[in-house]
Structure 1
Amino acid sequence: MTAAAESTPESTGPQTDSAEPWGRVDDDGTVSVREADGWRVVGQFPDGSPEEAIAYFERKYTDLASEVTLLEVRHRRGGASASDLRGAARAVSAKLDGAAAVGDLAALEARVAALTETLAAASETEAAAAREAVDEAVQARTVLVEKAEALAARDPRTVQWKQATAELSALFDEWQSQQQNGPRLPKSTAQALWKRFRDARSTVDKHRREFYAELDEAHKGVRERKTKLVEKAEALAPKGEDGIPAYRELLDQWKGAGRAGKKVDDALWARFKAAGDALYSARVEREAADVEASREKIDAKRALLDEAKAVADERELSKARSLLTSIQRRWDEIGRIFPRDTERALDDDLRKIEQALRTREDTDWKRNNPETKARANDMTRQLTDAIEKLEDELAAAERSGDKKAIANAKEALEARKSWLKALGG
């Protein structure tokens, strides 16, 4: 090796456009990097060749370059916030400052500086967006608070508590969702809003407890009243069907007794209804027995109806009346029939026969009434006299040839004869 060669350190680092090396290795293994103001020692590599020493510190440079490139790629692709990238850029910049690496560190620092400048502008935009997001989040939380306060301000006596509880629970779930997924609010603002929301929830809970406490007290009184009604209804069981009127009175009282809570009401009503069912079952059993006992009575009355058909065929009213009277007496002796609709149908059939005979009797009476006969005879005489007079007038008109007089006389004569015929003359 020549003296000139011995005085110049051997280097194998990245080359510039002028082919000047970025690094050099001294005889003792000290490695330096070339910077704008001269050479700077970055470390020693005494146990290897100069090429190995330079390669080692160039790898350090490559790692730093990769970090810078990664930052640039993350910025281009988006997704990471500018503030986070600025923090990462500051960390990389700190690594570059006095880095123990061989390469164009100034170029890396320039790239980081350019990226940092770009991120600074983006950070301002992000900060403005963040402030806007915070303002929107404050407004959204305020809406939740106002809704909760509106629930708390309602008259507890008019609130549907099941619905109100569900609404308040939904508001709290939405509050938690905004708190977990939304932007972080300023501490003082968040605490003030939460205090309002918490106070509203406490008020609603207090009103609900008071309402249900009053309701429980009211239910207790209703429960006692209905329990007594149940006991009275159950005590009617020995009376059977005769207990139904009293049971109906108890039922009216039950309807006006109020509510004792669904479960209690359902249980008490089951007992009350069972007591009534027992009474009505006694009626059903009695009616079934009556229906069974009425089978022969039904047949007997239908036989009487067949016999009563002869009433209409009997020409002599006295005999027809005598036959119907006999049938009516036997009809009444048979007694009541069950079911009632069958009895009504049979009674209606007999009533039609009675009405038909009554109509015949009324007609006969009118025809044979002495006063009616006297009036009819007097009218007959008057019509007979009028007919004789009209016949004379017709004959005179025909002799005279007066056509109009003839027509009038004939018309009047025909009318009187029709009236006389109607009277049976």
Structure 2
Amino acid sequence: MSSDPWGRVDETGTVYVRTADGEQVVGSWQAGSPEEALAYFERKYEGLVVEIGLLEKRVKTTDLSAKDAQAAIDHIREQVDAHHVVGDLDALRVRLDKLVELVEARREERKAQRAKQSDEARHAKEALVAEAEELSQSDQWRAAGERLRALVDTWKGLPRLDRKSDDELWHRFSHARSAFSKRRKQHFAQLDAQREEARKTKERLVSEAEALSNSTDWGVTAARYRELMSEWKAAGRAQREHEDDLWNRFRGAQDVFFAARSSVFAERDAEQSENLKLKEELAEEAEKLLPITDLKAARAAFRNVNERWEAIGHVPRDARPKVEGRMHAVERAIQEAEEAEWRRTNPEARARAEGLTGQLQAAVDKLRGQIEQARAQGNNARADKLQRELDGRQALLDQAQKGLQEFGG
């Protein structure tokens, strides 16, 4: 008979293993010595030890599910309970019990982790729904559309919730996207209608602009082109494929008209500049008549200058006041000379001047006689009074004589 601390072989070849509950039959060994029997069943025990060790490592270091881990534990426990090995079976049971506790702990840990992930996923999806619902009212069609597509990708990367919660949130999320798509579709449909209306309006404006391009009614046509431009801007944009072509035609028609007008105006400006030069020469000629010494000759010379002036066409508008002002100054000087000549040769005015002068002269002579008489009588007070009156009459007489001289008297 042979034995070791955990098992023995009796004389019949029966192999036993020692446990806390006493000896248990392992099996019968007839093929060799008892030592070989114990060695064989001990190797089987070591196999269980290795298997348990590997399972412990898998449970601790891999994502082995609790269900699969428990099935593996149960499988090993069946082998331990079958007593077909020799070794410390109680120690294996202890390790298996601890492994069960570890699996359960990992199960709870994963459950908590899943609950946390689910909670985070719920919050994340609720945030996506809230943002999608806000974006559904946006008018930033391109940016909002791109952001909604990005939200869908984010949603797909999140874990699913329980079916009810997930379906409810997805329904809100999908509804927000649909609402935005509907509004965007309506917007662009309306925009297409507006652009079609703008195209029709601009076709009409182009037709009128092209019809006016050969007009020579410069002022009226230029004003109408300004009105057409205002109408063009107010019409809004047509479809992209039409807008540039319409604009090129519209602008081309205007260019034809304004180029022709510019050419005519350039010729006119050159002519008016030459006219200005001629009128400035005539104004200088007229100014040489001043000061007027011979009214008749000055009047005839100015008439000749003025006739040549009238024969010259327009001058540039900004130069007109200055050059015309020079001619008007000479004309006023001649008019003032004519008025002075008229006053000097007026018979009625001359007669009135002569009468007034005679009356004043008689009064002065009378006063002188009275003064001489008063002084001869020694009445100096009367003489002084009369002298003061004489001084006043003499001043009036001097003024009247001066006026009479203007009449050549």
TM-score (norm 2): 0.61
Matched residue, 1:77: none
Matched residue, 1:155: none
Asked if structure 1 preserves the Cα contact closer than 8 Å seen for 2:295 and 2:338, the reply is no
Matched residue, 2:109: 122
| Structure 1 residue 226, shift from structure 2 partner | 2.9
| Structure 1 residue 271, shift from structure 2 partner | 0.7
Asked if structure 2 preserves the Cα contact closer than 8 Å seen for 1:33 and 1:39, the reply is yes
Matched residue, 2:326: 353
Is the alpha carbon distance of 1:64 and 1:294 closer, same or farther for their aligned partners in structure 2, counting shifts above 3 Å? Answer: same
Q: Is 2:94 the partner of 1:112?
A: no
Count of residue pairs brought into register by the alignment? 351
Is the alpha carbon distance of 1:321 and 1:144 closer, same or farther for their aligned partners in structure 2, counting shifts above 3 Å? Answer: same
Letter aligned with residue 122 of structure 1: E
- String of CA shifts for 1:70-90, please: whole Å, max 9, x gaps: 64467xxxxx7xxx7745753
Is the alpha carbon distance of 1:260 and 1:72 closer, same or farther for their aligned partners in structure 2, counting shifts above 3 Å? Answer: closer
Structure 2 alignment gaps of length 5 or more:
372-379, 382-387, 404-409
- Picking from 242, 250, 255, the partner of 2:217 is 242
Letter aligned with residue 61 of structure 1: V
**Correspondences of 1:7-406 after superposition (within 5 Å):** 7-8=2-3, 20=5, 36-37=20-21, 58=46, 61-62=49-50, 64-69=52-57, 71-72=59-60, 86=66, 89-90=69-70, 93-94=73-74, 96-98=76-78, 104-119=91-106, 122-123=109-110, 125-126=112-113, 128-130=115-117, 132-137=119-124, 139-144=126-131, 146-147=133-134, 151=137, 160=139, 163-164=140-141, 166-177=143-154, 179-237=155-213, 239-242=214-217, 245-246=220-221, 248-249=223-224, 252=227, 255-256=230-231, 258-259=235-236, 261-263=238-240, 264-293=242-271, 296-312=274-290, 322-337=300-315, 340=316, 344-345=318-319, 347-357=320-330, 360=333
The farther-off stretch of 209-218 and 348-357 is 209-218
- String of CA shifts for 1:372-409, please: whole Å, max 9, x gaps: 9989x99xx8xxx9xx9xxx9xxxxxx99xxxxxxxx9
Asked if structure 1 preserves the Cα contact closer than 8 Å seen for 2:56 and 2:99, the reply is yes
Asked if structure 1 preserves the Cα contact closer than 8 Å seen for 2:121 and 2:161, the reply is yes
Asked if structure 2 preserves the Cα contact closer than 8 Å seen for 1:32 and 1:40, the reply is yes
SS at match of 1:224: helix
Asked if structure 1 preserves the Cα contact closer than 8 Å seen for 2:15 and 2:26, the reply is yes
SS at match of 1:8: strand
* Identity over aligned pairs, percent: 22
Asked if structure 2 preserves the Cα contact closer than 8 Å seen for 1:240 and 1:283, the reply is no
Mapped to 2, the partners of 1:357 and 1:223 lie a distance apart of: 63
Mapped to 2, the partners of 1:301 and 1:190 lie a distance apart of: 95
| Structure 1 residue 53, shift from structure 2 partner | 8.2
Coordinate RMSD, CA, aligned: 5.4
Asked if structure 2 preserves the Cα contact closer than 8 Å seen for 1:222 and 1:259, the reply is yes
Mapped to 2, the partners of 1:24 and 1:181 lie a distance apart of: 62
Structure 1 alignment gaps of length 5 or more:
10-19, 75-79, 152-158, 393-398, 401-408
SS at match of 1:97: helix
Asked if structure 2 preserves the Cα contact closer than 8 Å seen for 1:34 and 1:40, the reply is no
TM-score (norm 1): 0.59
Mapped to 1, the partners of 2:170 and 2:286 lie a distance apart of: 95
Is the alpha carbon distance of 1:292 and 1:31 closer, same or farther for their aligned partners in structure 2, counting shifts above 3 Å? Answer: farther
